[in-house]
Structure 1
Amino acid sequence: MAELADSLYGMLLRMPGVLAVVGARWSGGLLHYLRSVTLSEPTPSFMEVEQEFGAAAAEDPDGDPPVTVHEVSELDGAMPHVQLLVAAGARIVAECAVPLAQGGWVSFMVATAERAAVDVTLRSRLKQVAEVTMVSDRRLMARREDELRQVSDAFLAEASLQMDSSLDVERTVRRVARTAVPAVAEGCVVHLCLPGGLTPVASSHMDAGEQQWLGAVAAEDLWLTHVLEQVLSRGQGRVLHGDELEGGPFGAASSGAGRAVRALSVNPLRARGRALGTLTFLYHRVVIAESASRFLADLAGRAALAIDTSTLYEQRRQHVVSLQRHLLPSELPRISGLTLSSAYEVGDASLDVGGDFYDAVSGAQDGVTLLIGDVCGRGAEAAALTGLARHTLRTLLEDGGPPEHALGRLNQALLREGTSRFVTALVAVLVRDGKGFLLRYWSAGHPAPLVRRADGAVEELTAHGDLLGVLEDIEYGSGSAHMAPGDALVLFTDGVTEARAADGTFFESCLRDTVAQQGAGAAEGFAERLAATAAGFRATGADDIAVLVAQAEVVA
C-alpha cells in the first residue's frame, strides 16, 4: 500500500496547479498517520500522529467516494494535515475519503493555489486514485487476512503446545504472557480470580525496562481493576482506545510508559463454565488491537483451558498428598536407645495414591514394633486397602497381640473384602537386650530387611512367607537377630529394589553398598538419604518408595 500510495501521490503532484498531496489515515476521531508530497519536497514523507480529534474529524465515508472542495481557511488549523497544506501555500483543497476494509478510512487531499485548478480532470484523477486505493485495499486485506489466518493458526498451535507442556499453574500463566509478547502485543498481563479477588499472576513487556511499571499498574491501578471486573462480569472481550482510556494509566493523556499505549484489549478467561480471570494486552497501534478480536478470544480460550487444567491438577495433587499423608503416621514414637527415621517417595507422575505404608508402635520395656507393607497397585482401591492394612495391624499390635496373629487377622479381613489385590507385610519387634536390642520379625511375602552393622557390614535377614489376601491358611517367614549399639535395621518396600536405571540395572544390585554408605551419616536422616538415592537412581518405573530405619544408639 505504501508503494502504491507513493506512485499515486506522484501522479497527482504532476497535475497542473497542484502544490501538495496529503493522505491521512483515520479510525473514528483518531488520526493515525500522514503521508505527503509537495512541490518543494517531492520525496514522500511519512509522519505518525496517533492523536485523537473526536468530533473535529470528518465522518466515516460510506459507499461511492465523492470529491469535496474546501477553502483552507475554513479548516481547523490545529490539525496536522491542515498545517502541512498551509505550509505548502494551499488556499483550496480537493478531498476524497475512502473507506478501508479493515475499518476506518483514508482521506486524500490535493492542495492548489486557485479554485480553477480543481477542474474536471483533477477531480476525475482524484476519484480514480480513491477507487484504485479502495480496490487495492480490499485485495490486500483479503490476502493479508489469509496470511494472518495461517500465522494465527500456527501461533495458536505453538502457544497451545507451550501452555500445555506444564501442569504447574504458575509456569503455565508465565508462558501465556511470554508467548504473546511481542508476537501479539507490546505488553501482556494475566489476572486470576483468587480468594483475595482479581490478582495479577504474570506480566510481560517487550521493553524490559517497563516490566516493573507494568507489574505495578496491574497490581495497584484501580481504573484497570474496574475495567477487568466489568469484562469478567459480562463474559465478553473488549477493546478500549481513544477517550475510553481517559482516567487510566494508558493513552496520550497519561504520563511515562503509559503514553505509548494506544489501545487495550481485555478478554475473560473462562473454562468448563468457570470464570478464571482475565487476559490483557497493551498495544502501541489501535489497528492491531481492533483486527485481532477473534484471535484474542481464541487465545484466551486456550489459555483458560490450560490454566484450568493446571489448577485442577494442582488441586488433585494436594488432595493426593493429603490422603497419602493420612495413610502414614504423622510422626514416629521416641524410643529410648533407638533412633527411628522414615521416608516416602512418590513414583507415579499421575499422582494416584500408592499402596506403601509403614508405622511404629511403642511396646513395653523400651521396645518397639515396626511394620511395613505394600498393597498391590495404585488408586482409590489401593488407598482403601492401605488404610485397612495399616490400621488393622496397628490396632492389633497396640492391644498386645502377637505379630503372627495380627497378620492372620489382616489376611482374613482382606479375604472378606473380596479384592483381587494382594498385600505384602513385615512386622519387626525390637526389645531391649543388654546394651543392644533383640530383633524378631515375621514376613508375609515382603522384601527381606537388612541390618547394617556399626562397622559398615550389611546383612540380609532371611524372610519368606505367603502373600496376604490370597490364601485362607498362610505361613510366615520369621527369624531373629541381635542388634548391637550402632547397628541399624533397614525396612523398605519393593519400590527400592525394583527402581531401574536407564540401562536396565535394578537398584537391588547396589542396595547393600548404598545402605553401607548412607548409614555412615547421621542416624536421623538415614531413611531419607536411602530413599532419595533410590529415587535418583530410578529412570523408569512408577512404584512408590517407603523406607523405615531403626538404629541402636551408641552408649557413651
Structure 2
Amino acid sequence: MRAAPSPVIVVGQNGDLLERNKTTDLVFIAVRPGVALDDEVASWLAEVQRANARQPVRGQIARRSSPAPATPPDDAMAWWLLDETMEQRTTRLLEVERERTAFLARASTLLLSSMNLGRCMEVTAQLAAECLGDAAVVIHPPKGTTLTTVTCVRGGQVVRDTVAADLASIPGLDVALTWFPPAPLHRTDPATVPDWIVPAGLGPIGSAVVVPLRGQGMPSGALVLLRKSTRAVFSENAETFVQLFAAHAGAAMATARLHTEQASITEILTRDLVPPQLHEVDGIEFAGGYQPSATTERVGGDFYDLHPAGTAGHESFLVLGDVCGKGLEAAVVTGKIRNTLHALLPLAHNHQRILTMLNSALLGSHHTRFATLVFASAVREGPDVRLRLTNAGHLPPLIVRNDGTVDEARTRGRLVGVLPTVHANTTVVRLAPGESCLLYTDGITEAKGGPLGEAYFGEQRLKDVLSECAGIPGEAIVERVHMLAAEWIGDNQHDDIAVLAITAPRHQDTR
C-alpha cells in the first residue's frame, strides 16, 4: 500500500483513519491517522464507510474531486483516492478549445463567403457580439474626418453608420486604424468609452478592448468589444482568442477591400476599352456590335472606333481591328492602338502614314502582339457616300448593294506590329442611298457551329446573309449578323466578334 502511486487510506469500522501512504501526505495534507472522516476528510466517505458499502464513490476532499474505489480488508476498509481535478480541468479546456476551433472555422467560412467589404464588416460584428462580447463595433480606416462603423448587440441586428469622431476619443483606436505593424490588443477603461461607440440600451460597460484587424500589409480596421458590468472582464486567455478571431476577420476584410479596389480599377480601365456607341454623323448611319469571346469579360482583342467629322463636308474616320489573342492582355494592346490612332487624327487624310506610325509605335513597345486593321474615311457627296478604305492584313470590307449584290472592296495590305515596314493600298467606294459597307472580324467567319458543331460560318455564308439585307438600316444589318452567328455557334466557344456597318442615307435632304 505504501508504494502505491495514488493516495490510499485505511479506515476502521468506527470511521477513524488508521493508516495512509506517503502519496496521501503529499496530496491531502489534512489527512492523518486518528482523524475522523467526518471532521477532516469527507463526510460523504464517512457515510459510505458506516453503511459498510463496497462500491466506488465520488466526492471532494480538500476541494479536489476524488473517486474512491473500495478494497475491503478483514476489519477495516481501504480507499484508493484518485485525484480527478486536473483531468476534469483538462477535459474542460479541451471542450473550450473544440468550441473555439469550431467557432473560428464557422467564422472563416462566413467571412470568406462574400467579397463585399460591407458584408465582411457586418459578419465580423455579428460573430464578435455573439461569442466574444455583449456588443461589437467594427470600424473601417477613416477617410477624411468620418468613420464608417458597423455595430451589433448580442441577439440584435447590425447597424451601419457614419460618424464624425476623434480617433483619440478611445485610447488605442488611432493606433489600431493608422499604424502598421498594428499594436496589440488594448484594454480601455470603460469609463472613458465615448457615447458614440456604445449601442443604445446596452447598459453600464464593465470592460472594453480595442483590437486591431490586420491584413495585406496594412490595417484593415479595428474591432471594439464591450462587455456589460455584470459579466467577467476579458481574461488573458480570452484576449488571445479574440486576437485569433481578429486575424481571420482582418484577412477577410483586406481581401474584400482588395477585391473592391480591383473591381473599381477594372471598371475604370474597361470603360475606355469597350467599343463606343455609334451614331449618325452628317446623315451617314454608323452602327456597331461587339461580343467578347468569354461571357465573363467585357473587353478583348476586337475593337472599332468612330471619330466623327467636326463639320459637314469633312471625312469621318473609322477603324475596325483585331489584336491577336483574347482577354485582358489583348485588350491592353487594343487600348494602346486606339490611343495612338486618336493622337494621329490630324493625319487621318493619309491612311498609309497613319499605318506607318502606328506600326512603329507597336514595334517600339514591350508587347509582342500584332493586329489587323481596316481604316474607313466617310463623307457625304450629294446623295451618295464616298468611302476611302484601307485594309492592313484584315478581312475584306463587304459592300451591300441595293440589288442584293455583295462586293469585296479591293484593298489589301500587311498587318501591323510585325515587320519594320507596312504597306497597304487604299480604294475608294461609293455607296448609293440605302447601300452599306460592312467591316467585321474573323470571330464571325471562323465561328464554329452548325448541325454538327464543327463547320465554319465562313465568308460565303456571311455574304449570303448580307445579300438578304439589301436596303435595310445599318443597325438591323449588325443585329441580324450577330443573331445568325450566335445561332450558328450555339454553345460552342468563339473568338471576339466585332461588326461595323456604314450606311448611306436612304432619303435625300435639301441641303
CA contact (8 A) 1:353 1:379 kept: yes
Specify whether residues 283 and 547 from structure 1 end up closer, same or farther in structure 2 by C-alpha distance, changes over 3 A only.
farther
CA contact (8 A) 2:434 2:505 kept: yes
> Within the alignment, does 1:130 sit opposite 2:63 as a pair?
yes
1:59-111 deviations in Å (ceiling 9; x for gaps): xxxxx9999xxxxxxxxxxxxxxxxxxxxxxxxxxxxxxxxxxxxxxxxxxxx
SS, match of residue 63 in structure 2 = helix
Per-residue deviation at 1:406? 2.6
Uncovered stretches (5+) of structure 2, i.e. residues with no partner: 1-26, 31-37, 45-58, 67-82
Per-residue deviation at 1:195? 1.2
Specify whether residues 302 and 508 from structure 1 end up closer, same or farther in structure 2 by C-alpha distance, changes over 3 A only.
farther
Per-residue deviation at 1:227? 5.6
1:100-150 deviations in Å (ceiling 9; x for gaps): xxxxxxxxxxxxxxxxxxx945998898363339x7665444234334434
Q: Where in structure 2 are the equivalents of 1:53-452 lying within 5 Å?
A: 120=39, 128=61, 130-132=63-65, 138-177=86-125, 182=130, 188-197=136-145, 199-200=147-148, 202-204=150-152, 207=155, 210-211=156-157, 214-215=159-160, 219=163, 226=170, 229=173, 232=176, 235-238=183-186, 244=191, 248=195, 256=201, 258-259=202-203, 264-281=208-225, 286=231, 290=235, 291-325=237-271, 335-340=281-286, 356-363=302-309, 365-377=313-325, 385-386=333-334, 388-415=336-363, 417=365, 420-446=368-394
Specify whether residues 390 and 287 from structure 1 end up closer, same or farther in structure 2 by C-alpha distance, changes over 3 A only.
same
TM-score with structure 1 setting the length: 0.55
- State the identity as a percent: 27
Specify whether residues 334 and 378 from structure 1 end up closer, same or farther in structure 2 by C-alpha distance, changes over 3 A only.
same
Matching residue's letter, 1:276: S
CA contact (8 A) 1:250 1:262 kept: no
Matching residue's letter, 2:212: P
Matching residue's letter, 1:130: R
Matching residue's letter, 1:389: I
Matching residue's letter, 2:373: A
SS, match of residue 211 in structure 1 = coil
Separation in 2, partners of 1:319, 1:451: 40
Separation in 2, partners of 1:514, 1:299: 63
Q: CA RMSD in A?
A: 5.8
Separation in 2, partners of 1:165, 1:507: 42
Per-residue deviation at 1:371? 0.7
Uncovered stretches (5+) of structure 1, i.e. residues with no partner: 1-63, 68-118
CA contact (8 A) 1:361 1:398 kept: no
Specify whether residues 439 and 157 from structure 1 end up closer, same or farther in structure 2 by C-alpha distance, changes over 3 A only.
farther
1:415-450 deviations in Å (ceiling 9; x for gaps): 455753211212122222443424443332345667
Of stretches 362-371 and 392-401 in structure 1, the one that deviates more from structure 2 is 392-401
Per-residue deviation at 1:369? 1.7
Separation in 1, partners of 2:386, 2:413: 21
Of stretches 388-397 and 503-512 in structure 1, the one that deviates more from structure 2 is 503-512
Matching residue's letter, 2:63: A
1:382-432 deviations in Å (ceiling 9; x for gaps): 677545533444455532443244324433443455753211212122222
Matching residue's letter, 1:312: L
Matching residue's letter, 2:392: A
Specify whether residues 514 and 170 from structure 1 end up closer, same or farther in structure 2 by C-alpha distance, changes over 3 A only.
farther
Separation in 1, partners of 2:246, 2:363: 53
CA contact (8 A) 1:188 1:282 kept: yes
TM-score with structure 2 setting the length: 0.59
Per-residue deviation at 1:192? 0.8
Specify whether residues 298 and 415 from structure 1 end up closer, same or farther in structure 2 by C-alpha distance, changes over 3 A only.
same
Residue in structure 1 matched with residue 17 of structure 2 by the alignment: none
Separation in 2, partners of 1:141, 1:543: 66
Matching residue's letter, 1:142: T
Separation in 2, partners of 1:165, 1:197: 31
Specify whether residues 375 and 260 from structure 1 end up closer, same or farther in structure 2 by C-alpha distance, changes over 3 A only.
farther
Per-residue deviation at 1:365? 2.1
Separation in 1, partners of 2:261, 2:252: 14
Per-residue deviation at 1:483? 4.7
Per-residue deviation at 1:545? 6.6
1:209-264 deviations in Å (ceiling 9; x for gaps): x426x446x858989963672562672224669x558765899xx963x1398665
Per-residue deviation at 1:269? 1.5
> Within the alignment, does 1:467 sit opposite 2:400 as a pair?
no
Number of residue pairs aligned between Structure 1 and Structure 2 = 426
Matching residue's letter, 1:310: A
SS, match of residue 299 in structure 1 = helix
Separation in 2, partners of 1:280, 1:508: 63
Specify whether residues 467 and 255 from structure 1 end up closer, same or farther in structure 2 by C-alpha distance, changes over 3 A only.
closer
Per-residue deviation at 1:366? 4.5
Specify whether residues 193 and 221 from structure 1 end up closer, same or farther in structure 2 by C-alpha distance, changes over 3 A only.
closer
Separation in 1, partners of 2:134, 2:401: 66
Specify whether residues 474 and 204 from structure 1 end up closer, same or farther in structure 2 by C-alpha distance, changes over 3 A only.
same
CA contact (8 A) 1:346 1:544 kept: yes
Separation in 2, partners of 1:521, 1:183: 66
CA contact (8 A) 1:437 1:483 kept: yes
Of stretches 177-186 and 313-322 in structure 1, the one that deviates more from structure 2 is 177-186
Matching residue's letter, 2:64: E
CA contact (8 A) 2:379 2:386 kept: yes
SS, match of residue 469 in structure 1 = coil
Of stretches 150-159 and 320-329 in structure 1, the one that deviates more from structure 2 is 320-329
CA contact (8 A) 2:146 2:164 kept: no
